Amino acid sequence: MDNVTVEQKAKNTSTLSASKEKICHEIADLSTLDKSLINLLQHGLPVCERPFEQIANELGSTEAEVILHLNQLKSSRVLSRFGPMFDAVYLGGAFTLAALAVPEEDFDKVTEQVNAFEQIAHNYRRTHRFNMWFVIATEEADEIERVINAIEEKTGLSVLNTPKLKEFYVGLYLPV
């Protein structure tokens, strides 16, 4: 069980249909200021009247430069988001991570069937017998089970339901 490696990536990617978003993005060309901003702002924006002025002071730049660069990073989608990150609990609703073991020849068909449910928030293809992993997000807790049942009925496959039992604090930091 210790032998699944990323080498399988190439093999699996080649079987994808062109319509799916493949995982190969261009790596952004970043200036020194861009890199400093990304590193600093992953930790958080100060809560004060002129937060970008404070950031600029820390980086030896100007407020105008900082604002210009951040807006460029946002529009070139190097930053996928800028703003408050809310704990999903407070956004209401229920979530679960679930998986299917989809036969290779049915993968595109099952992808369409699963993605058609509006309650599917994310869906990833992964290297495993359970090769499709998706997040189900619903407004009410009991709707999760209904969606799972409907997916099973639609696909004829049995859903592996792995709702979170406990979440641990993480501090991901991607230095550039």
**Of residues 2-31, those binding other proteins (CB under 8 A):** 2, 4-9, 12-13, 16, 20-28
CB of 19 to other proteins, least distance (A): 10
CB of 4 to other proteins, least distance (A): 6
Encoded amino acid at 24, one letter: C
- Contact (Cβ atoms closer than 8 angstroms) between residue 169 and residue 87: no
Task: Give how many residues touch other proteins by CB under 8 A.
Answer: 99
Residue (of 3, 69, 77) closest to 31 by Cα position: 69
First to last CA, the chain: 33
Question: Based on CB atoms, which residue is closest to other proteins, 49 or 153?
Answer: 49
DSSP 127-157: SSSS-EEEEEEESSHHHHHHHHHHHHHHHSS
Q: Which of 36, 61, 96, 113 binds other proteins (CB under 8 A)?
A: 96
CB of 118 to other proteins, least distance (A): 9
Cβ-Cβ contacts under 8 Å for 17 (sequence gap 6 or more)? 108
Question: Based on CB atoms, which residue is closest to other proteins, 77 or 153?
Answer: 77
User: According to the binding rule CB under 8 A, does residue 103 interact with other proteins?
Assistant: no
Grouping H, G, I as helix, E, B as strand and the rest as coil, residue 24 is coil
CB of 8 to other proteins, least distance (A): 7
Q: Which of 103, 128, 152, 156 binds other proteins (CB under 8 A)?
A: 128
Grouping H, G, I as helix, E, B as strand and the rest as coil, residue 3 is coil
Residue (of 121, 130, 50, 65) closest to 88 by Cα position: 121
CB of 68 to other proteins, least distance (A): 9
Site string for other proteins, 136-175 (x = CB under 8 A): -x-x-x--xx--------------xxxxxxxxxxxxxxx-
CB of 60 to other proteins, least distance (A): 19
175 conformational bin, left if phi > 0, alpha if psi -120 to 50, beta if neither: beta
